Amino acid sequence: MAEFVSVGQTDEVAPGQAKAYEVDGRSIAVCNVDGTYYAIDDVCTHDGGPLDQGQLDGTQIECPRHGARFDVTTGRALTLPAVMPVQSYAVRIENGAIEVELP
């Protein structure tokens, strides 16, 4: 059964930025898109690059290694060299805490 897990506070992730959190042995990038928070695996499916270190442009994040882009709302791979999506997670905000739903 899935459950929401607190990963950090909203003031830790500025608008237009992403921040990685370690949760239950996985790295999850929380992305702030104009005050709405999204969470995806922080690992590029092309070569394992850290997505939180890439450029967040609207709802797209670019891997800093080879430029693959992903939709942070769905995890879908948008450009080559990545073809596989990253896992996306539901996010909710409770009293300023960012909570991510994990399986």
Residue with tokens 């409770």: 94
Position 1 scores a pLDDT of: 73
Domain 3-102 is in which class?
mainly beta
Position 2 scores a pLDDT of: 85
Q: Phi/psi of residue 10, each to 5°? A: -60, -35
Each domain of the chain, given as residue ranges in start order, spans: 3-102
pLDDT per residue over 47-65, tens digit each?
A: 999 999 999 999 999 999 9
Position 31 scores a pLDDT of: 98
Q: How far apart, in whole angstroms, are the C-alpha atoms of residue 103 and residue 98?
A: 16
Position 24 scores a pLDDT of: 87
Name residues of the chain where pLDDT drops below 70: none
Q: How far apart, in whole angstroms, are the C-alpha atoms of residue 103 and residue 52?
A: 21
Position 8 scores a pLDDT of: 97
